[in-house]
Amino acid sequence: MWASDISKVQDDEVGDGTTSVVVLAGELLREAEKLVNMKIHPMTIIAGFRMAAECARDALLQRAMDNKEDSDKFRSDLMNIAMTTLSSKILSQDKEYFAGLAVDAVLRLKGSTNLEAIQILKKTGGSLKDSFLDEGFILDKKIGLGQPKRIENAKILVANTAMDTDKVKIYGARVRVDSMAKVAEIEAAEKQKMREKVQKIIGHGINCFVNRQLIYNLPEELFADAGILAIEHADFEGIERLALVTGGDIASTFDNPESVKLGHCKVIEEIMIGEDKLIHFSGVEMGQACTIVLRGASEHVLDEAERSLHDALCVLSQTVNDTRVLYGGGWPEMVMAKEVDGLARKTPGKKSHAIEAFSRALQSIPTIIADNAGLDSADLISQLRAEHHKEQSTAGIDVISGGVGDMEKLGISESFKAKQAVLMSATEAAEMILRVDEIVTCAPRRREDRM
């Protein structure tokens, strides 16, 4: 349970490093268990872990690079971070292409971390390489019959209201009439009520009406006669994002037009993606809004691609906010492990055992990177440790060549914020479990004889 919690927090805070944080916390607990078996008190272990975590964080701070003053170098850093993030995902084959899409989308946000402005639209067909970035907002709906296919300088009313009042909506209600003429009167009254509602909506001075719920035939006909583009049944996430990017509010009553904030955009038009027709809103009020259209062979491929791209977007938006960058490929863990090892040698008493254990736990990350790539981890880690005893080493694991490589030349980078969050979250989670005094195990449930 705790593992899923820290992983979720890491995902919410930074967007990447969810596996690393669980692995590091697990390794810290494994090392702590050995120390507890050596009769070292958990509070002593926690004190040692805290000293080691602070030392490791300081080591990261000293070695972090910041290129925010040089826009070309900073963009290169963002590209490297995006490619590193995508390397372990389904998009790894085309990581350079998708890294470019993600960087362009995030740089449009101009420092904001609000990813609501970036819409990811999935459309089956074509290959992943056919995906593209589009300025503005795309709504996965068709324009109705007899309605304008293109509108310039659009005034948009986004609503969540019932447009089907051609039936009595009182559960269990019965209407008794003594002739068919009375039924016709009731229907005429309902139609008149709907006409009045449509007139109120038209009275807002709009030329586009987007509704969360269905728009039935009569109101659709009335909107078409008034030259208003009416879009029905837009999904709730779609209208929330549309209201955000066009600068409007979602309305449900229409008696006071002056209190309703309308959305604006320069052009609304119908576009084709593959064989599907969609509605494109360009020149929206929130200028940084954009849509990444993902193409792929199946829904499963698109779902996985969306998750991969979301991780990259999250990390990049956080890096634009906190521009410090580190090398990847196990380099930060080896830098931290070296400093923590040095602290262990200077610290007297039992705490030094805990600090040393923390250093071993940090080295588990590059070990696992090597194992996952099918390499000899014992040999690589010993080479890496020797390299890091040289001053200002940039050595890390190069899984492509299967040896130790220069992370600076290979362009493997990670976000400082993500790595710091992994370190602090894993340490706090391990501390929390070390503070548990006793574990009560339930007796195993007796299996019933089913024969």
pLDDT on residue 213: 83
Residues 296, 302 contacting (CB under 8 angstroms):
yes
- The single residue listed with the structure tokens 């009569």 is 218
Q: What is the pLDDT of residue 50?
A: 92
- Rounded Cα–Cα distance for residues 294 and 224 (Å): 33
Which helix (H) or strand (E) element contains residue 42?
Answer: helix 42-63
| Cβ partners under 8 Å of residue 105, min gap 6 | 118, 133, 290, 292, 313
Tell me, what's the pLDDT at 359?
Answer: 92
Rounded to an integer, what distance in angstroms lies between the CA atom of residue 49 and that of residue 40? 13
Amino acid (1-letter code) at residue 406: D
**What angle do the packed helices 180-202 and 217-225 form, to 10 degrees?**
40
pLDDT for the residue numbered 442: 67
Classified as helix, coil or strand, 416 is: helix
The pLDDT of residue 58: 92
What does the alpha-carbon distance between residue 293 and residue 285 come to, in Å, rounded to a whole number? 21
Low-confidence residues of the chain, pLDDT below 50? none
Domains and CATH numbers, the chain: 1-67+326-435 (1.10.560.10), 74-132+290-322 (3.30.260.10), 137-286 (3.50.7.10)
Cα dihedral: 276, 282, 285, 291 (round 10): 50
SS3 state of residue 122: strand
Instruction: Write the pLDDT tens digit of every residue in 366-403.
Output: 888 888 888 888 888 888 888 888 888 888 888 888 88
- d(Cα 394, Cα 329) in Å, to the nearest integer? 10
DSSP SS3 for 376: coil
pLDDT of residue 439: 61
Question: What is the token pair recorded at 346?
Answer: 């200077």
CB-based burial, 19-32: b 16+ in 10 Å, e otherwise: ebbbbbbbbbbebb
Report the alpha-carbon distance of residue 146 to residue 113 in Å, rounded.
Answer: 41
Asked if 98 and 91 touch (Cβ cutoff 8 Å), the reply is yes
Compute the 3-state secondary structure of the chain and give helix, strand, coil in percent, each to the nearest 5.
Answer: 50, 20, 30
Q: How far apart are CA 124 and CA 302, in angstroms?
A: 7
> Which pLDDT score is estimated for 283?
84
CB 168 within 8 Å of CB 175: yes
pLDDT at residue 447 in the model: 66
SS3 of 275, please? coil
Quote the tokens at residue 76. 């290169």
